[in-house]
Amino acid sequence: MSRIGNKPIDVPSGVKVSIAEGTVHVEGPLGTLQWQHRPEIAVAYDDATKKIACARQDDERLSRALHGLTRAIIHNMVVGVSQGYEKRLELIGVGYIAAVQHNQLELRIGYANELHKPIPPGITVTCPDQQHVVIRGIDKQLVGQFAAETRALRKPEPYKGKGIRYFGEVVRRKQGKAMAK
């Protein structure tokens, strides 16, 4: 029995939800999202109580797996159009800088060439200073994916801690070989 899937989703004021032919449309002050759910899960919206309910039609393994997933994705859509999502990255290293120009994130992170990462539509990227990058958007998956791809360009290394890391991420440091003696 899915504990997450059985929990109803509260829809805040200012957010409109419509469900038609297996597609969930969520519209809020920050934008509009839509998602087509699997036929194994039934999604219903009660306009009087402003709640979305997800129910599975049988107890097959796939249906049980999709039950909580469907509820979580729809909840992320509701939160995204009402509040939005944000990921912060910080660049640690001498000479590491970031800038946004012409819808591209430009990174100098210790390679011979400057890296240019195109910013996908649907998210906004800003650099409050040269060592920090702020990624915002209404789609949680898109924001997280872009942040993960940017971090993967130069992951934090364990000896000096240089690289791109999430804001507040703790990198486990290793001792160098000089400490082994």
Q: DSSP class of residue 38?
A: -
The per-residue pLDDT for range 27-47, each reduced to its tens digit, is 999 999 999 999 999 999 999
Please name the CATH architecture into which domain 3-82 falls: Alpha-Beta Complex (3.90)
The per-residue pLDDT for range 78-128, each reduced to its tens digit, is 999 999 999 999 999 999 999 999 999 999 999 999 999 999 999 999 999
Q: Which residues pair with 60 in a beta bridge?
A: none
Please name the CATH architecture into which domain 85-166 falls: Alpha-Beta Complex (3.90)
Query: Domain segments of the chain: what residues?
Result: 3-82, 85-166
Mean predicted lDDT score pLDDT of the chain? 94
85-166: same fold as 3-82?
yes
Is residue 179 very low, low, confident or very high in pLDDT (cuts 50, 70, 90)? low
The per-residue pLDDT for range 136-178, each reduced to its tens digit, is 999 999 999 999 999 999 999 999 999 999 999 999 999 888 7
Long-range CB contact pairs, 40-48, < 8 A, 24+: 40/66, 41/66, 41/67, 41/70, 43/19, 43/70, 43/74, 44/19, 45/11, 45/17, 45/18, 45/19
